[in-house]
Amino acid sequence: MPQPPAAIPDSLLAAAEVRFNALVLPHLDRMLGFAKRRTPSTSDAEDAVQEACIRAWTAFGDLRDDTKTRAWLYRILRGVLSDAGEKLARRSALVSMTRLDDVHEDLLASHTDSVFAEVAARIDSEQLGEALGLIPQDFAIAVELHDIDGFKYHEIADIVEVPLGTVMSRIARGRRLLAATIASNRKLWALGVANNTPKVIHSGTRGRS
């Protein structure tokens, strides 16, 4: 944690540190899990969370509403990950989704959440994390924040800084892409060889939703 300015009275600094620890520490485990799914190694994820905490402490005076701490922290963490080049690395690994209809088109045609829930329930958390890494980041983040970390639509909109309608669209589209990704790699995962030849699913669009 960075050293605070010497001009601030010790009593105020102590109170700020107590408040910071009370608000931030309960979220570190979930933040680390989020970072692990977006970095090459656990050490990289830990570094990202540590940097996010440093930035949060530096900007702690900007947090006026304690109830918004979690969304505020995730927004900072996303900035750290983006600065580290995670977003560019993820997108460089994508390939065009020209044969998506060969990978269970009926899954993508559904506009309900039941397909996603049914397919995702059949794999473990490690495989789910791998599947999230095989779809475009904008969609993966929206699904993860909502379905795994439990954020509400308006909180996600604040975290990723896009309109509410865009968040809802990304979640719906992301679930269908994720279901197709899981379906296409399910047999490989069952054999324990998915890491060798994972099938990557692309959004099929040039623009961002």
Q: In terms of pLDDT, which residue wins out, 184 or 22?
A: 22
Rg (CA), the chain: 19
Give the model's pLDDT for residue 112.
46
Give the model's pLDDT for residue 123.
60
Residue pLDDT, tens place only, 38-73: 888 888 899 999 999 999 999 998 888 999 999 999
Domain ranges in the chain with CATH number 1.10.1740.10? 10-91
Residue pLDDT, tens place only, 64-120: 899 999 999 999 999 998 887 655 454 454 433 434 334 434 444 444 455 566 556
Identify the CATH class of 10-91.
mainly alpha
Residue 131, pLDDT > 90, answer: no
Q: Count of alpha carbons within 13 Å of 43, Cβ hemisphere only?
A: 0
Give the model's pLDDT for residue 5.
47
Whole-angstrom distance, CA of residue 194 vs CA of residue 180: 15
8 Å CB contact between 42 and 36: yes
CB atoms within 10 A of CB 39: 19
Q: Give me the CATH code for the 95-191 domain, please.
A: 1.10.10.10
8 Å CB contact between 186 and 123: yes
Domain ranges in the chain with CATH number 1.10.10.10? 95-191
Give the model's pLDDT for residue 82.
86
8 Å CB contact between 86 and 38: yes
Amino acid 158 reads: D
**Average pLDDT over every residue of 150-160:** 92
pTM of the prediction? 0.64
Residue pLDDT, tens place only, 163-172: 988 999 999 9
Whole-angstrom distance, CA of residue 55 vs CA of residue 50: 9
Residue 154 burial by Cβ neighbours in a 10 Å radius (0-12, 13-18, 19+): exposed
H, E, C per residue of 182-207: HHHHHHHHHHCCCCCCCCCCCCCCCC
Whole-angstrom distance, CA of residue 127 vs CA of residue 113: 19
